Structure 1
Amino acid sequence: MDTHRQDLYPDLTASGGLGPAMKEAATWRGCDIGLSPWATDVIRIETARGYVSVDPATEERLFRVTVHIPGFTWEIGSTDDLGLLVEAVAAWREGMPFEELEAKFDFMELEEFARALETGEPTSLQWSDLLSSDF
């Protein structure tokens, strides 16, 4: 890690990287985040809802959470609280309904596409968005 990031993330540096810090925070909070034992700084967790990735911002202390499904990637929120982050990742993995996720984790921003994914209709929403686009 560079010096700038060390100043923003001393807890990550002390733990040996983002992966070990997330595992430690998850253990401390009694969460299962499903992180592979070898994860260090590139965090990508497989869930039934696609892959969740976490990456720290370089300009400020902020953990960005992104979801990836085949053909689509979208950011679902960001927080500076590592403990809250691991709780949200664990809840996502456990399949907590999106409305409950938004209510419990106010940093999460689950837009219309995420709701369509939950109901099993992302394709129709994608077509609707494309057909209504000015482009």
Structure 2
Amino acid sequence: MRIGELARRAGVSTRALRYYEEQGLLTSDRTLSGQRIYPETAVERVRLIQQLFTAGLPSKTIVRLMPCIESGHASPEAFDLMAAERDRITAAMTDLAAARDALDRMIDIAHHPTPEHCPTLRDPTWSPYEAAEELGQGAAR
């Protein structure tokens, strides 16, 4: 099947398919005029690649996992690789949660400003003009 047909059946763009080929995730044959031709099994492979991307795996990791997927036998290295990716994702989630919490605090401060967080609410308020007037009056006495 040609690239447009594969894209339609797998639910991805032709650009995504070209990217998968560049990354070594997908292969095609070429016609004499240079058009890509894919086997019927490419639909399932593209769907699997999409699932792996959805799981947060980068293409370089997917390439390393493909031999295990194709053979149906996961090696200890494949499990270690997936565990490392899970740890990476967990760390990223922790960082994102901390960023979200910090943003929540800033939103709360913006909604409920206090003198502690907002200098314009502090007493006594000070103005350079008031200070100048006080100095001028003090010198006249």
**Both structures adopt the same fold (TM-score exceeding 0.5):** no
Q: TM-score range by the shorter chain?
A: under 0.3
Greater fraction strand: 1
Question: TM-score normalised to the size of structure 2?
Answer: 0.26
Question: TM-score normalised to the size of structure 1?
Answer: 0.27
Greater fraction helix: 2
Q: Which is higher, the Rg of structure 1 or of structure 2?
A: 2
